[in-house]
């Protein structure tokens, strides 16, 4: 048995006990599932993200919608332009997903342990919001430099040749601070987005289970997957609308020279004034809703699938007064 413990990844692949145990092994499996689901979904939707970012950076030029924008990019730069920033996207969102999904599982379970099942059940929305905010803040410390390289590459296709090259050029040109020029807007975008995403998905999933009169344990894997996908679409659209103004600011702040010189807050204010509040909220919103709605559904579906494959029984809030 000792030799099995020394095999790389043994803790990750070890089956969970029949009764769920939420220990370090569970959190590692949750983090790994989160990294995989975020990397796969963000990577797959990279072409949509390229067009969305171009629309936000230059709405006058890219004014023909999502499909028209894709055609325009391909006509001017070739099909490979739609994969610009793919390396930074896939790696960056694996890291972010690791801390985000793993962190949400950790913080919500710790809250339940501290509060007790009944109090936690009555305050589950607040727990979702708090756990998501804490996990996302930690994740964004690691995501921000990768997102900065991605946006610079999308806004200037000649800027770099891959992730490593982009890091080197940004470090030389802007220093460490250049990687975190968008940290405040990424927090303003990602924290409300993640809070809405997990709280809305949790509420939507609970409503679906309540309508069926059954708990997740009483349903098949395929039915639970359907609940994850359906609730994920609802959560994604809500989260996209809430976080879109900050997403537009983030896209623009990483464009070279945007907002003029001076402190970051001054640059952000200049950009907001130039763009206008209505445009901040609406320009590029439709492709972002398509992207985030699809992406979020895919994330929760893949997360649950990977957790099952790793032998982990996903944590669900439980009403201690309900008899099954």
CB 131 within 8 A of CB 107: yes
Lowest mean pLDDT: which of 14-28, 66-80, 289-303?
14-28
CB 73 within 8 A of CB 82: yes
Q: What are phi and psi of 161, to 5 degrees?
A: -120, 80
pLDDT value at 136 more than 80: yes
- Taking Cα atoms as reference points, which of 293, 258, 254, 287 lies closest to residue 272? 258
pLDDT-based confidence at residue 257 (cuts at 50, 70, 90): low
Helices within the chain (DSSP H only): 2-5, 10-13, 24-44, 46-57, 65-77, 86-115, 117-122, 124-155, 163-174, 176-179, 183-212, 221-253, 264-275, 277-282, 285-309
Residue 220, C-beta contacts closer than 8 angstroms, at least 6 positions apart: none
Instruction: Give the number of other Cβ atoms within 10 Å of residue 223's Cβ.
Output: 15
Token reading at 277: 């509040």
* Alpha carbon separation from 145 to 57, 178, 318 (Å, rounded): 19, 8, 38
Mean pLDDT of 235-262: 78
Higher pLDDT, residue 246 or 324: 246
| Per-residue pLDDT, 49 | 80
Secondary structure class of 303 (helix, strand, coil)? helix
pLDDT value at 103 more than 90: yes
| Per-residue pLDDT, 4 | 46
Lowest mean pLDDT: which of 130-139, 166-175, 250-259?
250-259
The C-alpha atoms of residue 161 and residue 176 are separated, in whole angstroms, by: 20
DSSP strands (E only) in 67-193:
none
| Per-residue pLDDT, 1 | 45
pTM of the model: 0.75
The C-alpha atoms of residue 65 and residue 71 are separated, in whole angstroms, by: 10
pLDDT digits (tens, 9 = 90+) for 169-180: 888 888 888 888
Q: What is the mean pLDDT of the chain?
A: 84
pLDDT value at 7 more than 50: no
| Per-residue pLDDT, 3 | 46
Token reading at 42: 């963000």
Higher pLDDT, residue 318 or 7: 318
Token reading at 34: 């989160």
| Per-residue pLDDT, 89 | 80
Q: Residue 53 carries which DSSP code? A: H
Higher pLDDT, residue 41 or 66: 41
CB 217 within 8 A of CB 262: no
Token reading at 48: 């949509």
* Alpha carbon separation from 220 to 16, 93, 302, 323 (Å, rounded): 18, 30, 16, 19
Residue 186, C-beta contacts closer than 8 angstroms, at least 6 positions apart: 140, 143, 144, 147, 246, 250
pLDDT digits (tens, 9 = 90+) for 269-286: 888 888 787 888 888 888
Give whichever of 22-31, 236-245, 314-323 has the largest mean pLDDT: 22-31
pLDDT value at 99 more than 90: yes
Angle between helices 46-57 and 24-44 (to 10 degrees): 60
pLDDT-based confidence at residue 294 (cuts at 50, 70, 90): confident
Helices (H) and strands (E) in the chain, counts: 15, 0
Mean pLDDT of 169-193: 85
| Per-residue pLDDT, 12 | 56
């Amino acid at each position: 048995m000792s030799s099995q413990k020394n095999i790389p990844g043994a803790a990750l692949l070890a089956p969970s006990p029949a009764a769920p145990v939420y220990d370090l092994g569970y959190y590692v499996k949750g983090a790994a599932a989160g990294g995989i689901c975020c990397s796969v979904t963000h990577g797959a939707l990279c072409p949509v993200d390229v067009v969305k970012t171009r629309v936000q950076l230059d709405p006058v030029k890219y004014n023909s919608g999502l499909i028209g924008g894709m055609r325009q990019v391909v006509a001017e730069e070739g099909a490979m332009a739609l994969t610009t920033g793919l390396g930074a996207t896939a790696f960056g969102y694996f890291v972010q997903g690791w801390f985000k999904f793993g962190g949400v599982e950790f913080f919500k379970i710790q809250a339940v342990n501290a509060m007790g099942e009944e109090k936690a059940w009555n305050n589950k929305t607040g727990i979702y919001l708090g756990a998501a905010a804490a996990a996302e803040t930690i994740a964004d410390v690691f995501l921000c430099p990768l997102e900065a390289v991605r946006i610079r590459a999308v806004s200037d296709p000649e800027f770099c040749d891959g992730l490593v090259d982009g890091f080197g050029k940004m470090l030389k040109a802007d220093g460490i601070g250049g990687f975190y020029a968008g940290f405040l807007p990424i927090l303003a975008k990602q924290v409300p987005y993640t809070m809405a995403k997990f709280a809305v998905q949790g509420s939507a999933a609970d409503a679906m289970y309540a309508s069926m009169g059954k708990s997740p344990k009483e349903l098949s894997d395929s039915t639970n997957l359907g609940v994850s996908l359906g609730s994920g679409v609802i959560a994604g659209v809500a989260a996209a609308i809430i976080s879109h103004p900050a997403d537009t600011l983030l896209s623009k702040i990483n464009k070279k020279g945007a907002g003029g010189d001076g402190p970051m807050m001054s640059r952000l204010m200049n950009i907001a004034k130039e763009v206008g509040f209505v445009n901040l909220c609406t320009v590029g919103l439709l492709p972002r809703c398509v992207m985030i709605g699809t992406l979020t559904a895919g994330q929760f579906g893949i997360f649950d699938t990977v957790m099952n494959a790793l032998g982990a029984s996903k944590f669900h809030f439980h009403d201690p007064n309900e008899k099954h």
